[in-house]
Structure 1
Amino acid sequence: MRPPQFGSWEASFEQMGRMLGECKWGLGEVNRQVIRTLIEKAPLVLPEADWQVHFAYFARAGFTDAAREEASGVNAILITLPQLDSDLRRDLLAQK
């Protein structure tokens, strides 16, 4: 298992945040517990308690309804492989 990787930004002293994401490329849909686990771990990687946290999840096989419900509670971004493929193709065509 690879260690988690984190991204962060500091737009100003008033707005500091971190994006936490997880990729699941297995054959099964991502379930609620996967969503919850990352949310629960977020405080462990935040330098300050008042930083904004944004969550993004990438899934090859999609998400269960329960996972979607859990993610909506924190306004998480959910991206499936077909969606990612479609967006990348559209962007590549737009560059031509």
Structure 2
Amino acid sequence: MKEISAKDLQEKLEKGENLHLIDVREDDEVAQGIIPGALHIRLSEIPERMNELDKDKHYYMICRSGGRSGRATEFLNEQGYHVTNMAGGMLAWEGDVQ
């Protein structure tokens, strides 16, 4: 499974790269702050909502600590999507949130 550190992902965003972020946390967790521009799809909804994703795009998966996003990353990779897990999750994130 591909992984990226929170710091490296933050640097990509700060350089202005057009990234596709998916936050798989629960609603109450997202209410405490989400990375600007991230799409919120709860982990339990990934199988039914993966048709909203484009197999030609690269996605970065985010959760609180990296575990749930890791499961989403593995699942989507098996389905033929290009996905990278943000290691450490929002606990490791030092960038802006909204």
Please give the TM-score of this superposition, normalised by the length of structure 2: 0.37
Please give the TM-score of this superposition, normalised by the length of structure 1: 0.37
Q: Which structure carries more relative contact order (alpha carbon 8 Å, separation 6+)?
A: 2
Structure number with greater Rg is 1
